Amino acid sequence: MFCRAILSVAVLLLMFAPSSTASAEETEEVVEPAKEEVVETTTDESVEPAEDVEDGPAEGEIVETTTDEPVEPVNDEEAGTTEVETVEPTDEEVVEQKEEEAVEQVDWSETGDRLAGEKRFKEAIEAYTKGVEIFREDVPAYMGRGKALLARGELTEALRDFTRVIELEPDMAEAYAGRGDVCAQQERFVRAIEDYDRALELEPENLTTLRSRGFAYYKTGDYDKALEDLERTHADDVVLGRIYLDKAMTFYGKRQYENAIEQFNKAGKITEDDTVLYMNRGICYFAMKQYDDAINDYTMAIELDPKLPEVYGNRGIAYQSKGEAKKALADYNMAIELGPGSGWAYYNRGGLLYKTGKYNKALDDLEKARELGYTVPQNLLEDCGKKAR
């Protein structure tokens, strides 16, 4: 446009220039130059065209057209700065642009997935973040970043990403399960169960989510529902056995010994070599005054782990309850040997010695028990002290 304006002015000057016979004194017509242009008039001398028209004339030069074809003059507005029209992209161009952006998102998500698969979670998070910066609704990138953040223990940020996925895709089961995992790690088990419930509504047979919900139920003390979920997932024996044991101890705490023993028996079918199972079931048998069964379980526990002073102490009580003082004393001695700081062991042995008339030794044990912080009835100490003299 700039070149065209200069050429047009030059042509006008040539058209109105005086002939070669005109008097030199005649007044020459003056043409005002366009803004920021300097244009000189000429009479007799022709002006050579610029060597490179495309680059525009130098300031103060006149450029003459090389053809005889007339050129329409350009007014001052046309000679000035022209306004650039905004061209709206076509529908095809918009689609093409979105496809290009989509390709970029897939690349970042794939990069993040690869890095996460290599346990390079920090780098994976950076890749996913580039994806969501380009496209704010990139569900795979948010989902991948949420998982990577969860793996790094960045729970608040992971929770935010899983929630964002749910906002964008309300029916994505994986997002609810991921948010449930975050809540479980935050020990918000009731909230976790709510998300697991929704995830399982969308994918009822997802064994991973079932297992996660089972553990959440377990942590809330709902052992029945925990077992129901975990049994459906074919969870390993250690997991199920642990739940049966905890359920049994719950019954024990309620003094429902028969129910407790039933759960211990279920656990025993799964994990036979479990010291805790035999010791705790023995306690239940003892509470029901089934001393022989209690002694059998204590003996099994000792065979599995012969260095537990508590088991010797419990078996000693069972023997004493059956009237087998000699065996009871042997177990109390072993309990003290394994746990010399156990005040209860001295108290039990002192009580047995008191009942068998060995008051001096009984008094020593009872005083030692009190010294170690175990509560000893004052009347027992006084009576034993009197009889020891």
Predicted confidence (pLDDT) per residue in 173-185, tens digit: 999 999 999 999 9
Predicted confidence (pLDDT) per residue in 314-358, tens digit: 999 999 999 999 999 999 999 999 999 999 999 999 999 999 999
Position 361 scores a pLDDT of: 95
For helices 291-304 and 275-287, give the axis angle rounded to 10 degrees.
160
The mean per-residue pLDDT over the stretch 265-276 comes to: 83
Position 353 scores a pLDDT of: 96
Q: Cα separation of 146 and 161, whole Å?
A: 5
Average pLDDT, the chain: 80
Output the CA angle 16-56-30, nearest 5 degrees. Answer: 25
SS3 call for 194: helix
Which residue would you say has higher pLDDT here, 171 or 66?
Answer: 171
What dihedral do alpha carbons 302, 365, 379, 327 form, nearest 10°?
40
Position 35 scores a pLDDT of: 43
Position 72 scores a pLDDT of: 53
List phi, psi (to 5°) of 194: -60, -45
CB neighbour list of residue 315: distance below 8 Å, 6 or more residues apart: 282, 294, 295, 298, 299, 302, 331
Position 95 scores a pLDDT of: 63
The mean per-residue pLDDT over the stretch 1-20 comes to: 37
The stretches of the chain forming alpha helices (DSSP H) are 2-15, 76-79, 91-117, 121-134, 139-151, 155-168, 173-185, 189-202, 207-220, 223-232, 237-253, 257-270, 275-287, 291-304, 309-321, 325-338, 343-355, 359-371, 378-388
Q: Say whether pLDDT at 74 is over 60.
A: no
